[in-house]
Structure 1
Amino acid sequence: MAYFRPATPDDIGALTALESSFPPEDRFSARTWRRLLSGNSAILVSDSGDALTSAAVILFRKSAKVARLYSITVAESARGSGLSSALLSECEDISRQKGCSHMRLEVRATNSRAIRLYERHGYRVMARAAAYYPDGEDALRMEKPLTGLSREET
């Protein structure tokens, strides 16, 4: 089973490197990572000892019952290992612990691998957002109720 830990400012360089294969418009700058680390968010990472293998950003709003999965990234070398599924489950557990009843996210309409992952976890498409991304691609808005017990309580 994967071990996830909260990201720290010391991880910013590794977080930036983890996203290096992304299109430029989808990458977070070091400044954005610093802002996210100091905001009302949870940033989880896993590492192989040499480099980060995954990262996820969850955003929370005060008094809101909906968490937003802002980003989830798995290193190319770790894809297909079940890490993304474990990371998503961990994000859901943290959101439940913070009192959230739902998790929402946006995903590129052409990202079939991610869409399948989310659907396997019980996410359903709520809407399509036209030209959502800077390059003009549409996004699917997905949501999942976070009812039931967290993995620790089962």
Structure 2
Amino acid sequence: MASQPEVRVRRARREDAEAIIALEQLFPGDRMSDRAIRRLLGVPSAAAWVALRQRWTCGALVMTTRRGSTIARIYSLVVHPEARGHGLGIRLVHAAQTEARKRGCRTMSLEVRADNQAARALYERLGYHLHACLPDYYEDGETGLRLRRTF
């Protein structure tokens, strides 16, 4: 069995925008717009990370915070299907949680599709719990689930 090339996780930079945009296209709907991605990569209230296998960006996470709030939000997490199953989602979430704590946040919040069993299982393994059910949350009418984890 051939070993996989090492994957490293680092803070995203403005020049990572195109790769993050390409990853966002993997979502069936409710994607971040190109404009939103470019904006979030340049504002202090957001932070993003990319997972790189050699020069291929195979995962990304965008987190937002608000001044005066102790709740950070995972705005988007995506791992390319060919890179799944190697713990990249966990590594990206851990990077975001570490930064959220540095910013004084005590809780991480996110929304996930009720029908996204893989993502829900990932977040459950990481200690996230149901905070609210959001009927008709997604553009196709799918229910959203707001999950939270306190540090």
TM-score > 0.5 by shorter chain: yes
1:29 aligns with 2:33: yes
Q: Which amino acid is 1:130 matched to?
A: P
**CA–CA distance in 2 between the matches of 1:54 and 1:94?**
18
Aligned-residue offset at 1:85: 1.2
Identity fraction in percent: 40
Q: 1:9 aligns with which of 10, 14, 17?
A: 14
Q: How does 1:31-110 map to 2 (within 5 A)?
A: 31-39=35-43, 40-110=45-115
Which amino acid in 2 is paired with 1:123?
Answer: Y
Q: Distance in 2 between matches of 1:4 and 1:47?
A: 6
Is the Cα–Cα contact under 8 Å of residues 128 and 140 in structure 1 kept in the other structure? yes
- TM-score (structure 1 length as normaliser): 0.88
Report the residue type matching 2:32 in the other structure.
Answer: F
* Cα distance, 1:47 vs structure 2: 1.2
Runs of at least 5 residues in structure 2 that lack an aligned partner in the other structure: 1-5
Whole-Å Cα distance in 2 between the matches of residues 3 and 47 of structure 1?
5
Question: Unpaired segments of 5 or more residues in structure 1?
Answer: 147-154
**C-alpha separation in 2, matches of 1:122 and 1:29:** 29
SS at match of 1:91: helix
Indicate which of 120, 138, 141 corresponds to 1:133. Answer: 138
Normalising by structure 2, report the TM-score. 0.90
Whole-Å separation in 2 of the counterparts to 1:98 and 1:136:
34
Residues in 1 aligned to 2:150 and 2:121: alpha-carbon distance in whole angstroms = 17
Q: Shift of the alpha carbon at 1:135?
A: 1.3
Which portions of structure 1, spanning 4 or more consecutive aligned residues, are displaced by more than 4 angstroms?
A: none
CA distance in 1, matches of 2:55, 2:22: 12
One-letter code of the match for 1:35? R
Answer whether contact 1:37 1:43 (CA < 8 A) is retained: yes
How far apart, CA to CA, are the structure 1 residues paired with 2:10 and 2:69?
24
Judge which range, 29-38 or 126-135, deviates more.
Answer: 29-38
Asked if 1 retains the 8 angstrom alpha-carbon contact of 2:51 and 2:88, the reply is no
- State how far apart, in whole Å, the 2-side matches of 1:127 and 1:101 are: 18
